[in-house]
Amino acid sequence: MAELEKKIWKILERSQTAALATISESGAPWVRYVTIYSERDFTLSFCTSLSSRKARHIAVHPEVHLTCGNLEPPDDSAYLQIAGRAEIRSDAETKTKCWLEGWRRYFQGPEDPDFVMVFVKPSRIEYNDPGSLTPEIWGN
């Protein structure tokens, strides 16, 4: 694994809160927090309600942007800017595989028709290191 990928993975290896930006029906940006989980290839996932605004936005405009990392200012931690394409998955296999019991406060279970998973495949990740004004770039 390249040095930059190690730095990115150090941030993504644990679940965390990220700011997710989508494009609304009117073409304006909309940002909200989501809890993300990452695979080793940097594919990110989070759960949502099929009837949510974010699911409606993603269905029309699948290009999204996430920011995560430094969530305790004025901490000098690195943070990531992630551009990618989102995909909503509602198949039973994915929902069962990804299900976490803590989500029962929002959904009845993995079989709940309103429960879906969103996967984001990054096309570009900017690693912003403390003390540097120029990010390191992964992807294009």
Q: Whole domain around residue 132: which residue ranges?
A: 3-139
Q: What is the CATH number of the domain that holds 77?
A: 2.30.110.10
Count of domains in the chain? 1
Q: What angle do CA 11, 68, 1 make, to 5 degrees?
A: 30
Q: Is the pLDDT of residue 29 over 70?
A: yes
Predicted local distance difference test score (pLDDT) of residue 130: 81
Query: Counting Cβ atoms within 10 Å, is residue 118 exposed (0-12), middle (13-18) or buried (19+)?
Result: buried
- Residues of the chain above pLDDT 70, percent: 95
User: pTM to 2 decimals?
Assistant: 0.94
Q: Per-residue pLDDT tens for 86-140?
A: 999 999 999 999 999 999 999 999 999 999 999 999 999 999 988 788 999 999 8
Side-chain half-sphere exposure of 134, counting CA atoms within 13 A: 0
Give yes or no for a contact between 21 and 64, defined as CB atoms under 8 angstroms apart: yes
Predicted local distance difference test score (pLDDT) of residue 74: 67
Give yes or no for a contact between 25 and 64, defined as CB atoms under 8 angstroms apart: no
Mean pLDDT over the full length of the chain: 94
CA 64 to CA 90: how far, in whole Å? 19
